[in-house]
Amino acid sequence: MLLHKNIKKLQDIISKQALFTSPFILSLITFLTFCFFPVYSQELLYQNKTEKINSKTIACLLPLSGKYELIGKKALRGILTARNLFQSENDIQIIVKDYGDSDLELNKAIDEVVTKDNASVVIGPLLSSSIKEVSSSVKSLRVPTVVFPLSREVSLENPYIISFSYPIEKQAQVLARYAVQDIKITSLGILYPRSDLGELFKEAFIKGTKELGGEIIYIGSYDPKLLDISTEIGWINSRRPKAIFIPDAATHSGEIVLKLRQENGLEDLILLGPNTWNSRSFLKTVGFDVNGLIFTDFFFSESERWIDFSNKFRAAFHEEPGFFEYQVYEAASLIFHVLQNPIQRREQIKERILTLRDNPLLDITQNIDGSLEISPKPLILTINDGEIVRVK
């Protein structure tokens, strides 16, 4: 009612012509707009405001202290390896902020790097809980932010989020497609650890298999602390699936594989696994004399990009890199690549990434909410003569 009364007053004033001057009308309309539509008005002003950014400044928000210190340091080494690759071409400045275990420090850090340091893009945070915590700040500051979620369940409806990962849902779908469509297995089973990630993998594999016309005829679980599958072995022998999906960590998966391989009648059972199997620790656990293992990842030990990265990493840090360092390295390399030429708006980072959708190494998708999902192209891997090799 108040809005209608004010509009009526405005019409009365105009009709009298006593005050009918353009400056007066413009001022009055502007006043009413700010009174009754403040959010919309501020949005217009922000859009017309020139961004203050340093296109060569990249901020990294990492847990470099506290209980997640190790994963934070792994990420930082991946970023620094990528920076060294581009340093000869770009004068890129990296600002590193340690937020430890504190959500308060995390939000304070992102505000500082954007408003004071004028960073053009943020890499991190790393953990799903931290990504959710900082999402509102990312949105209000309008800063492209590269994160590494394990699952697509970390959906924030945030147009400034750039996810770079090989999520568990995609891994399960890739394995289901290979089993059902490529090697024509229609009866499958799942043997998963009773954990949050195990549950997510299980549901994703069920969905992927059913969508492709396959059938899940066995689902079993085990305590990840005990790894006792004696009861499940009986069920597997009775149901007789042709393949079983085991979504566990490298060493645990290796021990489960060995227990299944020791059972009479299960020697030819095809065992499917996620990217945790693409590791030296898994290979060491299962041994060299093993067959029928199929798993997925976006690199393997003989792939050219991995060899190039690992050589650079070892030269810089005198230790062997792992999967996570490589994932962060690939994401940081992409950001450094799109910033080779200066930008005037932060939004240009997303625009330039979208121009790379024909890249043979990456799957790049823009969601309805404007966020980007980037996944390296998946591979199907196996073990042959004690080495991890590519099947597809």
Same fold: 54-166+305-376 with 169-297? yes
| The pLDDT value given to residue 20 | 38
What confidence category does residue 56 fall into, taking pLDDT thresholds of 50, 70 and 90? confident
pLDDT at res. 87: 65
* CA gyration radius, the chain: 27
Residues 6 or more apart in contact with residue 197 via CB below 8 angstroms: 150, 168, 247
pLDDT tens-place string over residues 129-146: 899 999 999 999 999 999
Domain boundaries, the chain: 2-48, 54-166+305-376, 169-297
What percentage of residues in the chain have a pLDDT greater than 70? 85
Model-level pTM? 0.83
**Looking at this protein, which amino acid is placed at residue 32?**
L
Distance CA 359, CA 344 (A): 24
pLDDT tier at 186, thresholds 50, 70, 90: confident
Nearest residue to 220 via CA among 210, 206, 205, 231: 231
Identify the CATH class of 54-166+305-376.
Answer: alpha beta
CATH assignment, 169-297: 3.40.50.2300
- HEC secondary structure over 297-340: ECCCCCCHHHHHHHHHHHHHHCCCCCHHHHHHHHHHHHHHHHCC
Count of CB atoms within 10 A of residue 132's CB? 17
pLDDT of residue 84: 85
Q: How confident is the model at residue 30 (pLDDT cuts 50, 70, 90)?
A: very low
Least confident of 31-45, 216-230, 295-309: 31-45
Q: Which pLDDT value is given to residue 90? A: 61
Q: Does the pLDDT of residue 18 top 70, yes or no?
A: no
CA atoms within 13 A on the CB side of 202: 16
Q: What is the DSSP code (8-state) at residue 378?
A: P
